[in-house]
Structures are given as structure tokens and as C-alpha cells.
Structure 1
């Protein structure tokens, strides 16, 4: 009898791990929980993959998909349109900050990031500045896996097998104040320093070669780095000074994850482009988008000019219908307000773990948190590669899952556990997360 891994090639997975063992197989979801094929229940601590914001088992989203598929299952938006793509683009534009009114649909986050870089390059070429082609992004930041998005990504380990990549990706400091090289005790000064590192990178490369700066509102990889006070306002000033586009990569941070429609609204800054995906449909159907300011489409409105880029399933009718139903649901149940009302309780519950010797830092905003693990709390000494391997892959990932919590134990940077539950979660789910984490992390420390 064939094993699941005889044919299924799982993503970001060491396939050898399942050579002789069973593959965890999730078959059902309801609210903040999922069940496997053996009937075991798990608390979904990262909303699938920072995606199922509305929670599992929302039949109205499935019904929206079925209704649309019966009416018009597929048609491209290459020179034609269909009603759900039109309506969804209008809805998104009504929610974005400022004049981000132009919505280019994709099927996922990597494609949205790829589209944003291509648009930035094409825009400057069409406006007489073809030398502006580079992108500034931050160390450890994850922006996707297509070749362009991977070049923007700041994680060396996941790029090595695919080099040489697209040229022009330049990395600068992130906002991990827990490991700040300067101003670690002064968030505002640290924010000024981190933003000015972007300016210094632009100056080193030459402003006439830099097209865009790509930043997540809260950086995911490395373990949820929120922006220091004033950071994005200063970055906006820097981008204006050097005529560089500011791209807010909100593949994770949009649609309520931080308690607002977009992270840019949460932190009060105006991007030129927003990239998004994941929770636009709460994961019920694949869809992403690159949302651009009005000025960026202007060169492409001239006679005989086109943005020569497209994706077969971008703006898919079924996915667009699901997204509309999802946005209706988020608004009707005020999930943004629910996150804002409960984020303090979420933080306070996770901060109880500070009494464990292995917990160095608890950080994040909204429903998006990282817990950094350390070998020594006093010195903030981290684990070496071999220790991280034993800690995360050798124990934590499996132990947390076995204890009933699906979350991410990640060593792309210093070891962290990441938590981003469905936006419907409340104190009962927070307490369950804390209880499981306390038990497993206590055992983990005993093992090291």
C-alpha cells in the first residue's frame, strides 16, 4: 500500500522525516481547532499559515464559492473582466489608506511581491529612470519563494540552492530591539537608527539605482518584530527624499491580523504599494493582490502602453467571491475590533511564560506573536546551530503538536515559537496555548 509521501511532495519539509513514520493528516476544522484522521483535536495556533483569520468551518465562505462556481467558474481578466473581480477591487480600494486604488490580482503572496517589484521597475523605466531597479529589504525578512521574491527575502539558508538569484536585492537592519546593536534601551532612538540604516543603504547603492523598499508592518521571519515608535514615518520621509517606492508587504499583516484592515493603518504610514494574500479569503480559496497608488498606473494609461505581466488565475471568479464574503464576515463580526479588544489579554497571557528560564522575549502586536528562546536569560545567549536543531526539530515541533498545539517553532534567525491564531480566538484559547507551551518549554529546558 502506498504511503502518503510516495507521491505527495510537501513544502518546506524534510521528506526523510516521514520515510518510516506517519504523516500528520488534518481532515476537518471548526473555529480555532482542527482534527486529524484519527480524531485528535489540535488548537490551530497559527491559523493554518497566518491565513484562516475568520476561523475554520465557515460554511458561508464555502457556499459563496459554490454559488459562484455554478454561475461562472473561471474567466481570465486579460482584456476582459467579470463581476466579482470588479466588485472586489472596488471593495479593497475602499479600505486601503490614501490613494491605493489600483488592484492587480494574483493567486498568492510570492506572486504579489513579484508583481510589486516588476511594477516598480517598469514604472521607473516608463518615467525615464531605467536605472532604478534595486530593492532594499531587511535581514531575515521573508517575502516569498519565486525568484524575484526570493531575491528580496533576507534568509540566506533558503536561497543557497537557487543562486544566482535576480540581481538588485540589498539587505539592511531589521527592528528586533531585543537584539539591537545600538539603543536597545530606547525604542524611539532605535527606530531612528533602524530607519536611517535604510537611508544609508540607499546612499551606498546610489539613489538613482534603487526602486523600492519592501517592509512588513511586523516582520515575520526571525520572530515577529514590531516597528519601534516613529519608524515607518521616518522610512516614509526617507523614501520621499530619494524618490523610492515604499512597499508594505502585508501578506500576513492585513485583514485583521493586527486589528485593522492593513498594518499600514495600524501604524499610521502611507505606502505606495501594498502586497497581500493569505487572509484576503481566510485561506478558503487562493488569492493575492498588489495594490498600487494612482500615480503608479499613470504611465500605463497612455495609448499603446501596457504592464506586460499577468497570471492565469489572478482575480479568479470563485476566489473573488470568497474574498467578498470573507470581508463581509470580518466587518459584520467586527473581527478587527475583537483583536484590538483582546490583544492585551493575548500578550499578558503569553507574558506569563517569562518566568521560564528558556523564554527570553515575548513580542508582537494584534494576534501575531513570537516567543524567542534563549540558553541564558541574563546574557541573552542564544543556541548554536546544533543546539537549535536538537531543540526545535529534535523535540519542540513534534512535542507541541503531540500536546495539541499547532504552531511554528522556527530557527530562521534565533529560535522562536510563533503564534497567530484565528481572529475569533479568545481567552480560553489563549490559556490553552499558554498551558501547552509552559509544559513543553519546561521539558525542553530540562533536556538542554
Structure 2
């Protein structure tokens, strides 16, 4: 359905502008325009306060795996809140944190059996870096504090996680940040500087850049490598064949921890509960959050191998780190119910069974002159926009502002699709629907995007 008409500012919208400081938002954009107010969700759809319906093409923010309006998850939250609404996991335990930690350890690969709870993904990344630093100090390598991550990658907003992030524009307002974070090329084969026609060779090259950076900095100074299974920022970069196996070998050779940042990719987004399983590697730490509860309550975690946890379980040693709401009883209870729902409804299997159809449907958009590439994995895809298909020439800053933000982003929403149009890296549209989405949803997305991009091309 079309919602192209201009929305009037309602009382709630006006109050939102006056008092609600929205995240990653140009607040000036709403000085004279209404703030969109979403009031209800059901399945893969959302409704605003004026009753207009939208397809949720981003699962909220890569979060609502099981879909909106799952009453059973809300009821579990209410039940747990009535029994034990809050208790910290600072030197104490409570049943739901114990059960969830055991459940995550069961599903995690290898010997990743220890679970440190946070309240979100950025905190999980922050936890992993601090853990890596203290681990190396405890094991006789106090100089190993640096981390390596990839260009354009987003790992969170806390000071440490932001340092690991590879987006200069996001970091500049807050510098100086935490020292010791270094960047290597990402796996965007569409813009590969070498081996663009040979995915395996490109994968070896990209992995070898990590080893070169370790050697350049000195292996005795590097604590960890942080990588997303499929890189989010820049528009969904899947790993080339053999990439993670080679990275694992490199990390082992130099005594460097491998952190799989699965804040977006875990819990079925790629069709497996933990995304590292999709690509056949075992990290030392998994960071996760978002889909663990399908967004019905906030929680995150660092899932840690027995080997890395071992020195913290000896003598008077402790990990000097924690969060008040980490392992919150209500969130842990909801996460357990969400995992039950995953198993009962076969959500991971559903993604694996339908990921090719999703890719094929979005792939039809390649016939548009403005579409340079369509890429991704599972239910997580990006569409890169260009102004010259033959040369892959991207938008200028002015064109990106005018076309991507001034037209495409607004028009997609007005035409009934909530998703992300972004130019962190090159201009992309990102799509990450709830895991219950089917072919009818894929086709509705494609049709809306096609109509908007066809019109956008006339503005170049």
C-alpha cells in the first residue's frame, strides 16, 4: 500500500520532537516535519499512529527474529517479573541466568562454555576486548593489548567498541578514543582491489592482510581480531570461500584471539543459531545480542571458550568488569522462551530453506541501472547503488545526500517499507526481515524497492 501523502504532525509526534532525543538521528530534520511514531507490530508488519501499515524490512534493527506480536514471549516476561523482576549476577546467580548460560553453551561450537551477560551488543564487544587484554596479562603476555578489525565495520558505540569500529566519520566527534585499534581491508569483493574475479584468491588475500598487520604491529602486542561473519556496515559483505579457516590459522600461529562479532548475525539471521557454524570456524569468543530475545527484552553476551576462561577461575583472580542489568531475570526468561520458539517453529531451518529465494528475488533488481550489486547471506542482504554500472562509480557526497537520504530513504518508507538506506561506505539499501518472512514478503519488498529506485534514477 502507498503512504505517499505528507503526514501531519500529531500531538505525540510533536512531543517526541520536544523531548525524545532519537539515536543516530538528525534532530533538525523533524523541526517542521512529523516524527514517525510506530504503535503496533504483528508478524512482519508495523502500524503507525495514524493506522498506516508498513512491511518491516529490517526486523526492527536486525532484532525481531520471531516477528512482532508474539504474545507467548510477552507472557513469559510478565510471569518472570512477578516472580523475580531483578537480581544482579554479581557474586550471585538466579535460575534463568543459569539456564540461559547453559543453553547458549550447549549451542555454541567447540569449548565455548562460559557466558558473560551484558545488556546489548556494544557492551558485549567492550567486554570481549577487556577480557582479551586481561587474559593475556594473566598468561604472561602483558604487551598484547591491540586489536585488529576491518575497514567500514561497525562494532558499537562504547569507547572501546567505537575504537574497533572502522568508520572514521562515526569516531571523529569522540576522538581520541582507546589506543591500539588497527584496521585491515574488508571482504567487499564487488570493490576488491585485487582478485575481484576469483573469490578464493580474494579470500586468501583478505585474510593475509590480517597476518601482515599482526606482523607489522608485532605479534607480541596484538590481543585479538574482531570480525563479523557477514560484515554489516557497507552493505552485507559475506566472507569469501576459505577466509575464516585461514584467519583461524593466522590467529593460532600468532597467539591472537579470534572474536566472532555476531551481534547481528547470530540467532538465525544466517540460518544457524551461531553464525560461525554457517562458515565452519570456531572462535575464541562470540559476542551476541539483538536476536537472542527477538527484541522482546534487552540482553547481550560474550560466549567464551574454556581455555580463555581458565585463568579467571584460579586463585583470587576475577574479571574486573560487569553491568548492573547483565543477565536480567526477565530478559533471560524471554531469551529461553525465544529459543524454545526457534526450535518449535524451525526458524533456522526456514531461513536455510528460503535464503536462495530471497536472494533470487532481490537479485531481479540488478536489471536497474542504479543497482550495482546485490549481496548477502541468509535473511541479511544489501543492495549497493551506483551512478554508473559499467565503471561502478558511486555517488558524490552531494548526490548521496540528495538521492539516498533526500529521496530513497523517505520514499521507501512512504511506500510502505521500513528498511535502511545508508552510505557508511558506499550507498546501500539493507534488508533484514523477520525470520518468518516468506516469498510474498520478498516480492513485496522487491516491488517497492523497484518502484522507488526507478524513480530515483531520474534524479541522477
Q: TM-score scaled to structure 1, two decimals?
A: 0.99
Match of 2:176, SS? coil
* Alignment-derived partner of residue 279 in structure 1: 291
Q: How does 1:244-323 map to 2 (within 5 A)?
A: 244-323=256-335
1:239 and 1:305 map into 2 onto residues whose CA distance is 26
2:395 and 2:120 map into 1 onto residues whose CA distance is 34
* Alignment-derived partner of residue 37 in structure 1: 49
* Alignment-derived partner of residue 103 in structure 2: 91
Deviation at 1:262, TM superposition (A): 1.1
4+ aligned runs moved over 2 Å, structure 1: none
Match of 2:287, SS? strand
Among candidates 315, 328, 336, match of residue 340 of structure 2: 328
2:139 and 2:356 map into 1 onto residues whose CA distance is 46
* Alignment-derived partner of residue 7 in structure 2: none
Match of 1:43, SS? strand
* Alignment-derived partner of residue 360 in structure 1: 372
1:19 and 1:130 map into 2 onto residues whose CA distance is 51
* Alignment-derived partner of residue 445 in structure 1: 457
Among candidates 17, 21, 25, match of residue 33 of structure 2: 21
Deviation at 1:48, TM superposition (A): 0.1
* Alignment-derived partner of residue 374 in structure 1: 386
2:316 and 2:247 map into 1 onto residues whose CA distance is 35
**Count of residues in Structure 1 that have an aligned counterpart in Structure 2:** 448
Among candidates 359, 376, 379, match of residue 347 of structure 1: 359
2:450 and 2:323 map into 1 onto residues whose CA distance is 45
2:77 and 2:302 map into 1 onto residues whose CA distance is 22
Deviation at 1:157, TM superposition (A): 0.4
1:270 and 1:94 map into 2 onto residues whose CA distance is 14
TM-superposition CA deviations, 1:169-223 (whole Å, max 9, x none): 0000100000000000000000000000000010110000000000000000000
Match of 1:159, SS? helix
Match of 1:182, SS? coil
2:336 and 2:330 map into 1 onto residues whose CA distance is 10
Match of 2:226, SS? strand
Match of 1:151, SS? helix
Give ranges in structure 1 of 5+ residues lacking alignment: none
Match of 1:447, SS? coil
* Alignment-derived partner of residue 56 in structure 1: 68
* Alignment-derived partner of residue 145 in structure 2: 133
1:391 and 1:234 map into 2 onto residues whose CA distance is 40
* Alignment-derived partner of residue 186 in structure 1: 198
Deviation at 1:129, TM superposition (A): 0.5
* Alignment-derived partner of residue 164 in structure 2: 152
* Alignment-derived partner of residue 176 in structure 2: 164
TM-superposition CA deviations, 1:128-154 (whole Å, max 9, x none): 111000000000000000000000000
Cα-Cα RMSD: 0.6
2:306 and 2:73 map into 1 onto residues whose CA distance is 31
Deviation at 1:3, TM superposition (A): 3.0
1:25 and 1:392 map into 2 onto residues whose CA distance is 22
Match of 2:182, SS? strand
TM-superposition CA deviations, 1:375-403 (whole Å, max 9, x none): 01111111111111111111111100000
* Alignment-derived partner of residue 119 in structure 1: 131
* Alignment-derived partner of residue 121 in structure 2: 109
2:24 and 2:55 map into 1 onto residues whose CA distance is 22
TM-superposition CA deviations, 1:12-58 (whole Å, max 9, x none): 00000000111000000000000000000000001000000000000
Give ranges in structure 2 of 5+ residues lacking alignment: 1-10
TM-superposition CA deviations, 1:256-288 (whole Å, max 9, x none): 000001110000001000000000000100000
Q: Does 1:416 align with 2:424?
A: no
1:417 and 1:249 map into 2 onto residues whose CA distance is 22
Q: TM-score scaled to structure 2, two decimals?
A: 0.97
Comparing 297-306 with 130-139, which one deviates more in the overlay? 297-306
Deviation at 1:304, TM superposition (A): 1.0
2:458 and 2:175 map into 1 onto residues whose CA distance is 40
2:140 and 2:397 map into 1 onto residues whose CA distance is 47
1:137 and 1:219 map into 2 onto residues whose CA distance is 11
* Alignment-derived partner of residue 3 in structure 2: none
1:286 and 1:81 map into 2 onto residues whose CA distance is 19
Comparing 414-423 with 294-303, which one deviates more in the overlay? 294-303
Among candidates 186, 201, 215, match of residue 227 of structure 2: 215
Q: Does 1:100 align with 2:108?
A: no
TM-superposition CA deviations, 1:349-406 (whole Å, max 9, x none): 0010011000000000100000000001111111111111111111111100000000
